[in-house]
Amino acid sequence: MTGLSPPLSELLLDHPIFRESIRRIRLLLAEQAAGDGGLAGQLAALTPLERDVLERCIHSSGDPAIAGDLRCSPAGGGGACDRGAAALAAGALILTDTAMAAAAVAPMARRTFGNRVACVLDWAPAAAPEGSTRAAAGMAAALAELVPGTATLPRQPAVVLIGSAPTALELLLEQVAAGGPAPALVIGMPVGFVGVAESKRHLAASGLAHIGLEGSKGGAGLVAAACNALLRAAWLQAASAPSVLSSGSAAASP
């Protein structure tokens, strides 16, 4: 690849500390798999892109124990990761449940396809409605406004990141089940102990393209790491297609 744009050159040249971290993560995963046949089978079944997502989630969390908890749904023609990467490459809006997740993914979005990044709290009321949460209320308002094919979301469905609020995830799933437009991808890894396991089970059974994490672990850093891995992989793949790269900035949602 010659004549790469500065952002792409920067992405290709990962910081040495990051490269060393990934090398050590791979050694740790190999050690874990050597003593756990089930985990070995899970890791062997991952596609290269799914493996990339897993490694970056482990790097973000510092927790190799999540290796067996990552779940990527199948999605026609490939998998959830491939579907999400394609949507991001086409300029999909990235919608998060927290400002922290938005802040963590925004730099990579700017350096790659220029995707718009928004947080549902921008639509949320100042106080949580009775019996609900600000994140759920914000998700409802955001989904009502961000309708694919309209002026607010002209290109395609959003990629949705939920790392904190299971209530927002449940609201999203209810809206889709009621006939609302489905996101291109849901990265659903809410963290905690109340409503988290239930929302993750509901996501797994929803039929939506999704990346999830079983158990109580999750968080803004993990969903952002997964999304950043998809952005980076899609941008590097686009390096061999100059027409894709040249339209990257134009693909950004308004």
- Predicted pLDDT of residue 45: 92
* 161-180 mean pLDDT: 97
- Predicted pLDDT of residue 4: 54
Tell me the per-residue pLDDT of 6-26, one tens digit each, with 9 for 90 and over.
455 555 557 889 889 999 999
34: Cα within 13 Å, side-chain hemisphere: 6
CA distance 26 to 56: 11
- Predicted pLDDT of residue 8: 57
- Predicted pLDDT of residue 252: 44
Phi and psi at residue 215, to the nearest 5°: 90, -165
* pLDDT of 154 strictly over 80: no
Structure tokens at 51: 């493996």
Segments making up each domain of the chain, as ranges: 68-246
* pLDDT of 167 strictly over 90: yes
* 184-197 mean pLDDT: 96
Helices (H) and strands (E) in the chain, counts: 11, 8
* 61-68 mean pLDDT: 94
- Furthest-apart CA pair in the chain: how many Å? 57
The rounded percent of the chain whose pLDDT value lies above 70 is 87
- Predicted pLDDT of residue 200: 97
Catalytic site positions: 59
CA distance 185 to 84: 5
Mean of pLDDT over the chain: 89
- Predicted pLDDT of residue 15: 81
Three-class SS state of 153: strand
* 81-85 mean pLDDT: 96
- Predicted pLDDT of residue 78: 60
E strands within the chain?
70-72, 74-75, 78-79, 94-96, 117-119, 159-162, 185-188, 210-213
Residue 151 binned pLDDT confidence (cut-offs 50, 70, 90):
confident
Helix (H) or strand (E) holding 152: none
Residue 243 binned pLDDT confidence (cut-offs 50, 70, 90):
low
* pLDDT of 244 strictly over 80: no
- Predicted pLDDT of residue 254: 33
Sheet with 185-188: list strands edge to edge. 70-72, 210-213, 185-188, 159-162, 94-96, 117-119
Query: Pairing state of beta strands 94-96 and 117-119?
Result: parallel
* 160-182 mean pLDDT: 97
* pLDDT of 71 strictly over 90: yes
Q: Which of 131-145, 181-195, 211-225, 239-253 has the lowest mean pLDDT?
A: 239-253
- Radius of gyration (C-alpha) of the chain in whole angstroms: 18
E strands within 106-242?
117-119, 159-162, 185-188, 210-213
- Predicted pLDDT of residue 206: 96
More reliable by pLDDT, 155 or 131: 131
* pLDDT of 224 strictly over 70: yes
How is domain 68-246 classified at the CATH fold level? Rossmann fold (3.40.50)
